[in-house]
Structure 1
Amino acid sequence: GLRKKEIGRMLFYENFLMGLGALVVGILAGTLLSKIFVTILLNLINIENIGGFAFSWDAVIQTSIVFLIITLFTSFSGYRIIYRTTLLDLFHSEAKREKSPKPSFILALLSLLLIALGYTIAGQPLESKGSIWIKLGLPVGALVILASVIIGTALFITFFLPYLLAKLRNNKKLFYKGSNIISTSQLTFRISSNAKTLIVISILSATTLSVIGTISSIYYQANKSAGTTAPSSFEYVIPKDAKTNNTILKTAESDPEHPVEFKEESTYYIVKAKETDLDFIEYNINEGFPVISESDYNELVKKQETPEDIVQLKDNQAQMVLSFTYDERSRNEMVGEKYTLASPGSPTVQIKSVVQDSPLGNVQGLLVMTDKQVAQIATDKNIPSVNLESISIKNPKKAQELDEKLQAVVPKDSMLLSYTATYQEIITVTGVLLFIGMFIGFVFLAATGSIIYFKQLTEAYNDIGTFDILQKIGLNRKDIRKTLAKQLLVVFLIPLVIGILHSSFALIGLSHMLALDLTMPVIISTGIYTLMYIVYYFLTLNSYTNIVVGKK
């Protein structure tokens, strides 16, 4: 006797109260766990745990507003569905599931070709000769990968998997073995009825894993990034006042926990070239080539433990040391180039070799020349020269106090470059990004597992009658659980495997672009993702079995 309006109102109240209850529980749980997450964040950004328990009313109000809006929206949506749907349709809603498209060999094959195309482009190094990236360009290449993989995934789940199962049904020996006749038939229907959900979850899982892998890789590469920016623990332009410089050196040697490993003084000269069409970023920044002698350069890279950069030159030969990232093709094109310098004797030097990363952080790029030719350059007093002091200490990551002392005594015009400060800055930015990315990412991955879990339980209640018939014709609990295990395994494996494969190839492409080693962070994030899905799989299997068969 209830009217649709009254039924809709009941559903509205039910949804709203459930949402309100979830909000209250979430705020209480978040408040209790906030201290743990703050501790994790502080550890990630290399800051000692400070402060105690904190409660923010602003956070509670903002969270409440957002989730109340979402709850009201879903509640009104439910009310609207009830009001616009007949009671007969509501009673038979479980019969209205996604229709299975007819298996198509052409579309099944197309799905594999599209995914293979995306993987092939992503897997190609940017700098390789004949690379598709070079032909297409970075933006177009990325769009082609996204389009081919997304469309390929949709076709793979919608057409390839049903086509594969249809072929398995044609294999009579396998089809009639044990309970395969039941599991295969139900699996086809299960994949078809969940196709849209599986497509969305697969693509979003791949995106989430890619983001987590990228952010964590950048975080774990903080040491390398800081070392590239600040090759020595401390580096500064030597002040003209000798007393000030002595104070700086004594301060650097004042911390017994961070003893000085080496000190090295280097001199470079800003020399212009007579050519006017130079296209080097480093040259334009410095308004000339920063020229350093072979002996100063070799001594510094030797003490910085990068002996592979040591160079041996002859007169009129030079090594180009780059600070900015150039692709291999551009670096190779620099070798053999000749430049005439506006210095005594107007020497014309030829680039013998090109290396990346300068041993001096305060100067963008270097041109290494023989001691003899640099000494000749030094005779021209009109050519600007800069004297740098490079200091290396033990364990510079933890030398915050020493860094603060040096910041206080080094004049601003000496441009102190500190590995400690650089590392802390990088790890703070990337640590915050890593915390946000992993927190939201793993919450999202848990949500995708929950979507599959609840969707399968909904189908379980609809399948009670089917499994009741199977029990009557002789299947016991063990047989039914075995049948369900096969079906649910495929349902969980589809987004798991597709997500891991897509993210792996996406991260391979990113590793080529960013020149980062993504192996370990990818293994960790993928392992956690897999573990979460294993837990959801067994949880779903147990719940599904208890629903259709009953608890023991």
Structure 2
Amino acid sequence: MTFPQFVFRNVVRNKRTYSAYFLSSALSVLIFFIYALFIFHPDIKKGVTSATAVQLMSSAEVIMYVFSFFFVLYSVSTFLKSRKREFGILMMHGMTRSQLNRMVFLENMLIGIGAIAVGIALGMVTGKLFLMIGSKMIGIAPLPFYLSKRALLLTLVAFLILFFSISLFTTILVRVNKLIDLFQAGEKPKKEPKASVFLSLLSAILLIASYFLAATATMQSLLFRMLPVIGMTIIGTYFFYTQLSVFLMKRLQKQRLFFWRKTNLITISSLAYRLKDNARMFFMVTIVSTVAFCAVGTLASFNVMNKQIKAQFPAEISYLAKDDQPVHQKHLQQIETELKARNIKYTTNKVPIKYVAISSSTDRYSPKKIAVVSFTDYIKITKAAGFDANEKQLIGKEILEMRTAILSEAEPITYTLEQNHLKLQHEKITKVIVLPMQLIMSQGIIVSDELFKKLRPVNTEIFTGYYTKDLGKTAGMGKNLTKNGMSFSSDKNSYSMTVSGTIYENQMNMYKMMLFVALLTGAVFFIAAGSFLYFRLYADLDYDRRQYLTIKKVGLTDQELNKIVTQQLALLFFVPIVVAFVHSAFAFMALQSFYQLSIVTEIIIVLASFLVAQLIYFFFIRYRYLQNLRKTLI
């Protein structure tokens, strides 16, 4: 037998241990290759949506590549630690240090090349399907399958470099100690796990503090709290597994009535050792899973943002004339002609908007002039938009203020007008925003009819709103008047305009595209997290066999074995996932501050989907694990 043949057979013999690592690596190659097919596809035209899609997928490729590097490095280092006994046998039979390094290098390269071949082959087989799904989500014409040489070469070279670098590096990780140490690596009694009370308390404090800050975050405070919360959560999670979880297990062992009941003694004692031994792995699974949940959940919640289009743009088509030029009447006539050509029923309203000069304001960021609408006109366009117009009648100097969501929680502003130094302070903000705030410089006020008549404006603009019951049908209207559904006044034109249908269509395409990228990347992260659990579990299989064989000799039944294994596997599989769920839930609480509508439904769907996937994976691994245990115990 030649040396390469020996290496090949060595990998085949350990196929059970390497299978999850191999499949995860192949999946990373597959997704990387799919992204490359999109990026280098000749039919992706240059446009806002397509260009953004290419940028997103390019960024996803970089993230995927960096993650794959650390995933492969961690996996290989774990395998090396579990093979010390095997290395001892080989060294005893005359294998030199250089031959051992060569064997490890060739094994890693063999697995890596196999993963690259399988990943690219799967990409070629499923590429057409992914291109069809991706093009539909991006909102472009269906893309035919095209095998780009650049996509193939990029994937091949990138992952060959990755696996070669790690294979070279892992030869340094091979530690050849005394033969007796190598032989006894899996048989030495484990030290009793210990936990620091201080670090356990620190973990609890950091996690509780980070949860509190996330749950109480507002739109204004979220950006400032984000980095401290992430830092505290990561540190708190690490100490939770290395210290707090072990501390809790030790406390549980002191509860004699519970600890000495049936098989609890074996389950809890074994779990304390497993938590301590696998703390770093649990930490990585939790963080990786949290990133996957948050990425997919955040983008799934963008669907709620699209539902807010109606709230942000109450009129399906809004037109704001800055002056009284005849061209405005021509534009309005064009809009009405297009509405009739599409058989869209509509109502329309015209209201004047006065811009009054401000001499001072309690808000230093306030503009030099502010948009003012009369109360009667406000009620009129509120009803036209289909909103509840139940507002208290304004009298005298009473005002209501229209604010965007980002300013909704700001302190009340007092405006001092240049006209007679009149001071205006709002009692409350309006229930709805009836004018596209992008058109009136993001702030506006509603005043009583009598005050509106007395105001001397710097200039007056005429707002015309077209209201329909089918927002989607207006997509693409007024292409010559707007760009991507919006147009603002400039030196070349004297009008501003928004088309809700076009804005909604663009946002939906962007949302679907980002969700497509996030789902692929999240799937790789989630499966990699499962792989960590899988190969760590099988790395301890020989130790577990000896342990259960010893217990079986003193009367452990098959039913009790099933119960113990199921309990331990359930805790090992679901503790990191549950912790990741809790982390994600508080992250989504903070994210809720960005939305006027609830994102609970979308988040529950995302987390439930991940939970179902984890349950399927758990039952599959449990079945295989029990099979392997019983082979030894028979």
| TM-score normalised by L of structure 1 | 0.86
**Change in CA separation of 1:57 and 1:89 when aligned onto 2, cut-off 3 Å:** farther
1:52 to 121, 131, 144: 144
Note the C-alpha offset of 1:546: 1.9
Q: Distance in 2 between matches of 1:470 and 1:98?
A: 17
Q: Distance in 1 between matches of 2:189 and 2:124?
A: 41
Counterpart residue identity of residue 509, structure 1 = A
Counterpart residue identity of residue 268, structure 1 = I
Percentage identity across paired residues of the two chains: 22
2:417 to 327, 340, 344: 340
Q: After the TM superposition, which of the residue ranges 192-201 and 413-422 deviates more from structure 2? A: 413-422
Counterpart residue identity of residue 76, structure 1 = L
**Change in CA separation of 1:449 and 1:7 when aligned onto 2, cut-off 3 Å:** same
**Change in CA separation of 1:400 and 1:328 when aligned onto 2, cut-off 3 Å:** closer
Question: Does residue 538 of the first structure (1) align with residue 619 of the second (2)?
Answer: yes
Counterpart residue identity of residue 261, structure 2 = K
Partner deviation per Cα, 1:348-371 (whole Å, 9 max, x = no partner): 545343237642222222222233
Q: Distance in 2 between matches of 1:172 and 1:536?
A: 34
2:461 to 383, 386, 390: 386
Which residue is equivalent to 1:130? none
Partner deviation per Cα, 1:514-547 (whole Å, 9 max, x = no partner): 5563312221221122122212222222222122
Q: Distance in 2 between matches of 1:349 and 1:147?
A: 44
**Change in CA separation of 1:50 and 1:323 when aligned onto 2, cut-off 3 Å:** same
Q: Distance in 2 between matches of 1:346 and 1:82?
A: 81
Question: Does residue 369 of the first structure (1) align with residue 447 of the second (2)?
Answer: yes
1:21 to 114, 122, 130: 114
Q: Distance in 2 between matches of 1:450 and 1:210?
A: 20
Which residue is equivalent to 1:176? 260
Q: Distance in 2 between matches of 1:58 and 1:494?
A: 43
**Change in CA separation of 1:108 and 1:298 when aligned onto 2, cut-off 3 Å:** same
Note the C-alpha offset of 1:303: 0.9
Partner deviation per Cα, 1:475-517 (whole Å, 9 max, x = no partner): 3433322211111111112101111111111221222355563
2:320 to 204, 224, 237: 237
Which runs of structure 2 are paired with 1:242-321 in the superposition (5 Å)?
244-245=330-331, 247-257=333-343, 259-273=344-358, 275-277=359-361, 279=363, 281=365, 283-284=366-367, 287-308=368-389, 310-321=391-402
Q: Which runs of 5+ in 1 are unaligned?
A: 128-132
Secondary structure class of the residue paired with 2:261: coil
Counterpart residue identity of residue 237, structure 1 = L
Note the C-alpha offset of 1:447: 0.8
Counterpart residue identity of residue 64, structure 1 = L
The question of whether the paired residues in 2 share the 8 Å contact of 1:187 and 1:487 is answered with yes
Partner deviation per Cα, 1:379-431 (whole Å, 9 max, x = no partner): x6x731111211122322243354547759x9954332111222123223333
**Change in CA separation of 1:324 and 1:478 when aligned onto 2, cut-off 3 Å:** closer
Q: Distance in 2 between matches of 1:338 and 1:14?
A: 74
Counterpart residue identity of residue 373, structure 1 = L
Note the C-alpha offset of 1:298: 1.4
**Change in CA separation of 1:39 and 1:16 when aligned onto 2, cut-off 3 Å:** same
Which residue is equivalent to 1:489? 570
The question of whether the paired residues in 2 share the 8 Å contact of 1:35 and 1:53 is answered with yes
Q: Distance in 2 between matches of 1:55 and 1:96?
A: 54
Q: Distance in 1 between matches of 2:616 and 2:540?
A: 19
1:222 to 306, 316, 321: 306
Q: Distance in 1 between matches of 2:493 and 2:446?
A: 28
The question of whether the paired residues in 1 share the 8 Å contact of 2:361 and 2:416 is answered with no
Which residue is equivalent to 1:190? 274
**Change in CA separation of 1:255 and 1:405 when aligned onto 2, cut-off 3 Å:** farther
Q: Distance in 2 between matches of 1:71 and 1:276?
A: 65
Q: Distance in 2 between matches of 1:245 and 1:436?
A: 39
Question: Does residue 67 of the first structure (1) align with residue 159 of the second (2)?
Answer: yes
Which runs of structure 2 are paired with 1:494-509 in the superposition (5 Å)?
494-509=575-590
Q: Which runs of 5+ in 2 are unaligned?
A: 1-93
Q: Distance in 2 between matches of 1:142 and 1:53?
A: 42
Partner deviation per Cα, 1:44-75 (whole Å, 9 max, x = no partner): 45x36523223222222222222112211221
Counterpart residue identity of residue 66, structure 1 = A
Counterpart residue identity of residue 163, structure 2 = T
**Change in CA separation of 1:532 and 1:240 when aligned onto 2, cut-off 3 Å:** same
2:497 to 410, 413, 416: 416
The question of whether the paired residues in 1 share the 8 Å contact of 2:482 and 2:498 is answered with no
The question of whether the paired residues in 2 share the 8 Å contact of 1:261 and 1:393 is answered with yes
Secondary structure class of the residue paired with 2:426: strand
Q: After the TM superposition, which of the residue ranges 363-372 and 245-254 deviates more from structure 2? A: 245-254
Which residue is equivalent to 1:351? 426
Q: Distance in 2 between matches of 1:510 and 1:97?
A: 47
**Change in CA separation of 1:293 and 1:122 when aligned onto 2, cut-off 3 Å:** same
Which residue is equivalent to 2:96? 3
Q: Distance in 2 between matches of 1:83 and 1:156?
A: 30
Secondary structure class of the residue paired with 2:593: helix
Q: Distance in 2 between matches of 1:142 and 1:250?
A: 47
Q: After the TM superposition, which of the residue ranges 533-542 and 466-475 deviates more from structure 2? A: 466-475
Q: Distance in 2 between matches of 1:301 and 1:435?
A: 37
**Change in CA separation of 1:322 and 1:160 when aligned onto 2, cut-off 3 Å:** closer
Note the C-alpha offset of 1:157: 1.9
Counterpart residue identity of residue 384, structure 2 = K
Counterpart residue identity of residue 248, structure 1 = Q
Note the C-alpha offset of 1:310: 4.0
Q: Distance in 2 between matches of 1:253 and 1:184?
A: 70
**Change in CA separation of 1:81 and 1:401 when aligned onto 2, cut-off 3 Å:** closer
Q: Distance in 2 between matches of 1:349 and 1:91?
A: 85
Q: Distance in 2 between matches of 1:151 and 1:51?
A: 45
Which residue is equivalent to 2:52? none
Secondary structure class of the residue paired with 1:260: coil
The question of whether the paired residues in 2 share the 8 Å contact of 1:100 and 1:193 is answered with no
Q: Distance in 1 between matches of 2:554 and 2:451?
A: 96
